[in-house]
A and B are shown apart, each in its own frame.
Chain A
Amino acid sequence: AQKVTQAQTEISVVEKEDVTLDCVYETRDTTYYLFWYKQPPSGELVFLIRRNSFDEQNEISGRYSWNFQKSTSSFNFTITASQVVDSAVYFCALSEDTSGTYKYIFGTGTRLKVLA
């Protein structure tokens, strides 16, 4: 069965600190997709990244970077030099395609507070 675990419920950091948000997933499929979304106080989820199961290359986008490790079933997200605007709830999600049907499974989210 699919499962996404975000063990960190809430993290507080001081501005300019680096922070890593953990995501551990469970799936039986060999083909699946992993996502990160940001949910600011306005409520609208914002897409950050998508990674398919065959692409283990890490990715960097500005201050954001993602570390995908199939060996540990993890897809961690690091924000370098955090800023107050990074304060939000971050969700990791998993989607797999089983016999033509699929569902997105979201983790419970990690609330990040960046203090000035």
Chain B
Amino acid sequence: KAGVTQTPRYLIKTRGQQVTLSCSPISGHRSVSWYQQTPGQGLQFLFEYFSETQRNKGNFPGRFSGRQFSNSRSEMNVSTLELGDSALYLCASSLAPGSGVEQFFGPGTRLTVL
């Protein structure tokens, strides 16, 4: 079974631009969560999608948004990029949402904002 895939793996953008990251969950998994990992803040939960609906959201500004498609693939968008948005963005999939579910993580997209 293929694991969670994320594209692109690396991205360089400049301040003010916007970016879209993509995540394909493990086949059969319907829940996708996004995390931001930075050296200073560690791993922080962004949001979770299930059945094309956002079920959960972390404490991030509205510049961070996402969506999920009917095939469970998910995209995350960051508008008006700031230097502080430079991070590793990780996607995780699970069979269903829930506080006790095992999440399977992708390799991440490393975003650099110049």
What residues make up the interface of A, taking CB atoms closer than 8 Å to B?
32-33, 37, 42-47, 50, 52, 91, 93, 95-97, 101-109
Contact = CB atoms under 8 A, between A and B. Distances in A.
* Contact residues of B: prevailing secondary structure: strand
A78 B78 CA distance: 39
A95 B90 contact: no
A24 to B, nearest CB: 15
A44 B108 contact: yes
B100 A52 contact: yes
B71 to A, nearest CB: 22
B56 A46 contact: no
A62 to B, nearest CB: 18
* Contact residues of A: prevailing secondary structure: strand
Interface in B35-76: 35, 42-45, 55-56, 58
A46 B42 contact: no
B56 A45 contact: no
Q: Which of B3, B58, B100, B105 has the most CB of A within 10 A?
A: B100
A109 B42 contact: yes
Contacts, number: 56
A96 to B, nearest CB: 6
B42 A45 contact: no
B105 A46 contact: yes
Contacts of B100: 33, 50, 52, 95, 97
A35 to B, nearest CB: 8
Nearest to B97: A102
13 contacts: A37-B105, A44-B108, A45-B90, A46-B105, A47-B103, A47-B104, A52-B100, A93-B43, A97-B98, A101-B55, A101-B56, A102-B56, A104-B103
